């Protein structure tokens, strides 16, 4: 049987992977908590301890990074608007 610490670490690792794979899939951190099987406070404390940021801040940073990457790749603002509207 897994210790509580091992269980939490596995859940946080899964949350981290899921956020990196599809940051746009989670509008709220509570949805991520349900999928990973931990409560929001545990996710917050562990992210803060291991990564130095709260999960919401990390998610916002990933989203901004993805938007910036798209902006750097597009030829025009019109094309970017079409890409963004498609999501």
Check whether 1 has a pLDDT greater than 60. no
Per-residue pLDDT tens for 20-77? 888 778 778 888 888 888 899 988 988 898 889 998 898 888 888 888 888 777 665 6
The larger pLDDT score, comparing residue 80 to residue 13, is at 13
Hey, which CATH number is domain 4-86, 1.10.10.60, 1.20.120.1200, 1.10.10.10, 1.10.287.110? 1.10.10.60
Question: Can you tell me the mean pLDDT for 5-31?
Answer: 82
Q: CA-based angle 55:20:53, to the nearest 5?
A: 25
**Given the structure tokens 């910036």, which residue do they identify?**
68
Q: What pLDDT does residue 5 have?
A: 75
User: What does the pLDDT read at residue 75?
Assistant: 62
Q: What are 28-32's contacts with CB under 8 Å, separation 24+?
A: 29/55, 29/56, 29/59
**Domain boundaries of the chain, sorted by first residue:** 4-86
The H-or-E segment that residue 76 falls in is none
79 contacts 45 by C-beta, under 8 angstroms:
no
HSE-up (13 A, CA, CB side) for residue 82: 6
């Amino acid at each position: 049987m897994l210790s509580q610490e091992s269980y939490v670490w596995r859940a946080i690792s899964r949350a981290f992977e899921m956020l990196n794979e599809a940051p746009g899939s989670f509008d709220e951190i509570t949805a991520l908590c349900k999928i990973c099987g931990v409560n929001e406070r545990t996710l917050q404390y562990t992210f803060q301890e291991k990564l130095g940021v709260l999960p919401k801040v990390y998610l916002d940073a990933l989203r901004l990074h993805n938007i910036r990457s798209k902006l750097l790749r597009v030829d025009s603002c019109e094309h970017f608007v079409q890409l963004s509207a498609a999501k």
